[in-house]
């Protein structure tokens, strides 16, 4: 009897640990012609460090019991400040040498979403997107209107020069002097950042932030701020953030297509993400990739380019950081 009582007490003690649901997160820093021979050791180290820092930051937030939405914002803030990636500081330049950024975020629990497009000087465009979701009745604000909204909500602004790195100035000069050569050398042609996460309550979120495509016509908006194309989250299926040639991701509504294949066609996350990236988009001639997560915390990160900057912390705590194709 005494033993039985002791056993019951031990079981009750263990219950909270057993009931604790797993959390997981994945991030990307863009896909493209990313080959070891195009990379300097310093640049590779800086990229791996930033990925490591961002994925751990997001995971810390999840481990503390905070919502997936907060985790994706926390991870993206790190990547927006890292000059190696095409988002926030270090964003690519338009054909007139300016920085115009897009961002979006989606809550898989409610299907609430927020986005900003063609914004300048906002240090963390992802914060602006999040505020559009939580503090306005709208889903997307653009240009001056989005900037005025961000200012009104006390978001940080920086001088335009703060965003522009020498690397991006040289990249634009190379593209504008020889478009053909630049297409080949531009490992950072696609290098948007994104994050997807599953929190302790079983909720999913996705977020994406970008400077768009190098040498884009000013005023051009890609897939990243478009809900369904570059970002999508639905607790019933998955959360997705994309990177790649935005025009194609818009036409094929890439992120939403993956979630629909999971929810309506019964494909696994891996099958769905692979079908859209390696069949639909590849056949259409589009370069790119996605990170995706399902309600069990299964993560899929397919890409049809040479590489994709990516990192994940899986439900079992396994940390994965990779750049090239054959790294696992």
The catalytic residue positions are 192
Per CB under 6 A, the list member of 104, 171, 186, 210 interacting with ligand ASP is: 210
| Per CB under 6 A, 212 contacts ligand ASP | yes
Per CB under 6 A, the list member of 94, 130, 191, 257 interacting with ligand ASP is: 191
Region of 126 (left: φ > 0; alpha: ψ -120 to 50; beta: rest) is: alpha
| Per CB under 6 A, 213 contacts ligand ASP | yes
Q: What is the helix (H) or strand (E) element at residue 127, kind and residue range?
A: helix 125-135
Within positions 64 to 103, which residues make up the interface with ligand ASP, using CB under 6 A? Answer: 86
Instruction: Count other C-beta atoms under 10 Å from residue 11's C-beta.
Output: 10
Token pair for 320: 């994965």
CB of 28 to ligand ASP, least distance (A): 9
Within positions 25 to 44, which residues make up the interface with ligand ASP, using CB under 6 A? Answer: 30
Ranges of H-type helices in 194-305: 246-251, 254-263, 269-274, 282-284
| Per CB under 6 A, 125 contacts ligand ASP | no
Residue (110 or 184) nearer to ligand ASP, CB: 184
DSSP characters over 199-228: -TTS-EEEEEEE--STTPPTT---STTSBT
| Per CB under 6 A, 302 contacts ligand ASP | no
Helices 125-135 and 143-152 pack at an angle, to 10 degrees, of: 80
CB of 99 to ligand ASP, least distance (A): 13
CB of 217 to ligand ASP, least distance (A): 12
CB 25 within 8 A of CB 197: yes
Strand ranges inside the chain, DSSP E:
24-32, 101-107, 113-119, 140-142, 193-198, 204-210, 231-234, 238-244, 288-293, 299-300, 307-313, 319-324
91: which DSSP letter?
P
Residue (58 or 222) nearer to ligand ASP, CB: 222
Residue (191 or 257) nearer to ligand ASP, CB: 191
Per CB under 6 A, the list member of 85, 149, 190, 232 interacting with ligand ASP is: 190
> How distant is the alpha carbon of residue 153 from its chain centre?
23
Helix (H, G, I), strand (E, B) or coil at 232: strand
| Per CB under 6 A, 257 contacts ligand ASP | no
Per CB under 6 A, the list member of 29, 58, 114, 246 interacting with ligand ASP is: 246
Instruction: Single out the residue of 312, 241, 259 nearest to residue 24, CA to CA.
Output: 312
Per CB under 6 A, the list member of 171, 224, 257, 260 interacting with ligand ASP is: 224
Instruction: Count other C-beta atoms under 10 Å from residue 296's C-beta.
Output: 12
| Per CB under 6 A, 222 contacts ligand ASP | yes
CB of 287 to ligand ASP, least distance (A): 9
Specify the pairing of strand 113-119 against strand 140-142: parallel
Residue (224 or 260) nearer to ligand ASP, CB: 224
Calpha distance 58→79 (Å, rounded): 11
**Choices 38-46, 61-69, 93-101, 239-247; region in contact with ligand ASP by CB under 6 A:** 239-247
**Choices 69-77, 159-167, 218-226, 315-323; region in contact with ligand ASP by CB under 6 A:** 218-226
Residue (251 or 314) nearer to ligand ASP, CB: 251
Calpha distance 131→124 (Å, rounded): 11
> How distant is the alpha carbon of residue 76 from its chain centre?
7
CB of 192 to ligand ASP, least distance (A): 3
Residue (86 or 300) nearer to ligand ASP, CB: 86
Judged by the rule CB under 6 A, the positions of this chain that interact with ligand ASP are 30, 86, 190-192, 210, 212-213, 222-224, 230, 243-244, 246
């Amino acid at each position: 009897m005494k033993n039985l009582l002791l056993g019951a007490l031990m079981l009750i003690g263990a219950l909270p640990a057993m009931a604790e649901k797993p959390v997981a997160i994945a991030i990307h820093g863009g896909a493209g012609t990313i080959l070891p021979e195009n990379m300097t050791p310093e640049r590779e180290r800086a990229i791996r460090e930033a990925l490591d820092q961002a994925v751990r930051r997001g995971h810390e937030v999840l481990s503390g019991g905070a919502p997936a939405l907060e985790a994706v914002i926390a991870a993206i803030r790190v990547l927006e400040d890292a000059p190696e990636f095409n988002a926030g500081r270090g964003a690519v330049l338009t054909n007139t040498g300016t920085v115009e950024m897009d961002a979006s975020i989606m809550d898989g629990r409610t299907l609430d979403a927020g986005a900003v497009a063609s914004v300048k000087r906002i240090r963390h465009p992802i914060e602006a997107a999040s505020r559009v979701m939580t503090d306005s009745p709208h889903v997307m604000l653009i240009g001056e209107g989005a900037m005025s909204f961000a200012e009104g909500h006390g978001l940080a602004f920086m001088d335009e020069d703060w965003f522009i790195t020498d690397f991006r100035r040289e990249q634009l000069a190379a593209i504008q002097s020889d478009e053909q050569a630049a297409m080949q050398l531009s490992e950072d042609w696609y290098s948007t950042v994104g994050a997807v996460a599953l929190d302790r309550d079983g909720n999913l979120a996705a977020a994406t932030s970008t400077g768009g495509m190098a040498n884009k016509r000013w005023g051009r908006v890609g897939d990243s701020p478009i809900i369904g194309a570059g970002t999508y989250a639905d607790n019933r299926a998955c959360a997705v953030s994309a990177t790649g040639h935005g025009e194609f991701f818009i036409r094929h509504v890439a992120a939403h297509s993956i979630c629909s294949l999971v929810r309506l066609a019964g494909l696994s996350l891996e099958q769905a993400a692979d079908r859209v990236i390696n069949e639909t988009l590849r056949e259409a001639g589009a370069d790119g990739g996605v990170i995706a997560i399902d309600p069990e915390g299964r993560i899929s990160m397919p890409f049809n380019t040479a590489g994709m900057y990516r990192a994940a912390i899986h439900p079992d705590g396994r940390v994965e950081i990779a750049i090239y194709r054959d790294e696992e």
